[in-house]
Structure 1
Amino acid sequence: MTADPQLDPMVRIAGLVKHFPVGGSRRSRQVVHAVDGIDVDVPAGETLAIVGESGCGKSTVAKTMVGLTTPTSGEILIGGRRLPPVTSRARHERRRVQLVSQSPWSALNQRKTVRHIVSQPLVVHRLFPSRRQREGRVRELIERVGLAPEYLDRRAYELSGGELQRVTIARALAVGPDVLVLDEPTASLDVSVKAILVNLLADLQRDLGLTYVLITHELDIVLHLADRVAVMYLGKLVEVGPVVDVFGRPGHPYTRALLAAVPSVNDLGKLPVVSIRGEVPSAIDVPAGCRFHTRCPFAEQACRAAVPALVGNGDAAVACFRLADLPSPAAGALSTLASRTETKA
């Protein structure tokens, strides 16, 4: 497939399904419905945040994007082109998408020096063939992520969590990717370091024209980094749209409950509180109809019988049969959130 930059988004996830078989023989084997048919686009230079409770499938999307797991069906296109399998020799295509994981301690070899860690992708992808060229590229990357050159000879175990995550970002940038998949990139960091890292990611996106897919449960970070947000529940998207719309005028009861649980976000948007009951159902035995109906205070018979499609709610789209009947956010919610997110634009 040939990319057309005028028509194709940088990232297109189309009909993505990922099921994990569990236990038993082939006849009796069940499957975990980790991701069950999602469609979403990310324009070049923008950030899509995927949010939801643990186990909703957002990290499976991230792993599928970088080739750590193979989709059951559907496809992921980068710049209009399908990514080849990890086993393919088309390394120039695979390097277009790189991962920044939530745990730099497990992602990096703690006994290696920063120089070795950042230079390895250049060796694997056969970039900058001479040692002098590689050294120059590594030094440039380390300085770009805010570390001094003397860090090059330190071993990973000598660094703090924030410093390690900067090294992880430098390694991801080494091969010149178009897309970074950020899987909970600030989850293991304290508040002050987290703010510095968020600002670094914003600066890198602006300077390098990167496209981000951000996997997170930290909704404050979504406000600072993301242009659009996709809310996942039990393997499906329940709401997708610009951050200012989804956070300022949430349509789905699940989105409202997520936002109401974060005081700083709730206060900004003056959002109506929605309480949900019970636990997330098993991803092996998913409910019929709307998957959220077992916990939704607004559920009716239609919610139990059929799967709602994503329908328009301003510039967003919401999968809820009761959308028109739900209470509206307080006046001024959209303008309040718009002023908070205007620095992203």
Structure 2
Amino acid sequence: MQLIRMFSVLFLAVSGLACGNPHVHDEHEVVARDSIKIAPGPSDTQIQFAPLPSSVDSVPIDPTLGYFVGDLGGGVYWVTDGAYSNMFLVSTHGVIVVDAPPTIGHKLLYAIGNTTRLPVTHLVYSHLHADHIGGASLFNASHPTIIAHVETLSLLASLSPRDPLRPLPHVTFEDNYTVRVGNQTLELSYHGPNHTPGNLFMYAPAQRVALLIDVVFPGWAPFSELAMSGFIPGWTAAHDVLLTFDFDVFVAGHVARLGTKNDVLLQKKYIEDLHDSCASAINGGFNVTAAIGPTVAANTGNAWAEFKAYLRVATQTCADNTTSRWLGILGAVDVFAFENAYRMVDALRIEYDVLGPFAVS
């Protein structure tokens, strides 16, 4: 295997490191040694993260209610519990609900019930993940028509056993679908896999409101591992797709504030910087021989340990460079800096074909 051959060469080059080769940089020794520790590091309760910038300013959550309902005009409302958010549209004939996050849970029923007496007639799944639709069964009593992309149906149907909290959709589509209930219109479209296969773009044209879940986090850096996304090229491209919609406000599915086009553009720049920083790290941004030397010496023949050391240093190099430029601009950019860089390094290697020392020579 090319990997083993490469590390065999590196092992010969660094076999003297354990004896105190003076050319090894201390910073790489620390990272490499840490990469083979078995004991976990300090918990996050012991880490002081950077102060949050004003970009994260959010709506106030009434502690008694535990949720906030915002009127976006024209019968469109959004609901947040501070961590998750979704929206619903009140028409002359019934209510269209988009997603049912279980963290909001029964509070979503209260939010809708305190806004209208009309029943929920349609429920749209943005994608299959339980943290966004795991409360769908709460609407079983009103028997709504459940709508989702065909990929979402396929993935939910493949679960064994099937999850009763996420009823299977009744209506599916491949490219575009328009939900019309009374005087409300919600346009659904699919532009290929991004966060997950089947993750939808939604747009209320009359109110100029867009919804896209788990891609942009208004005012904040993305959640861990780029929002646990499955296909980073599609997830990255989703920023540009979202910008083609003529919206004033968008609902992001997370954080306690709405988004604007400026939020999309800002995160797009962050992702581009992360991409470039990680590509630079892979393509010679650190001394590979020095970085993995202690791990090679301590784990003869263990290619997994050696490659973990390589990935850790490449990731940390990228994370440090990117974070230094974005602290104070996006909230919590340092919290998941390593995890987001790690996901980007992996995407560069296996999806973008940026292989650095592992490319065909």
Q: Report the TM-score when normalising by structure 1.
A: 0.29
**Structure showing the higher strand proportion among its residues:** 1
Q: Report the TM-score when normalising by structure 2.
A: 0.29
Higher Rg of the two aligned structures: 2
**Structure showing the higher helix proportion among its residues:** 2
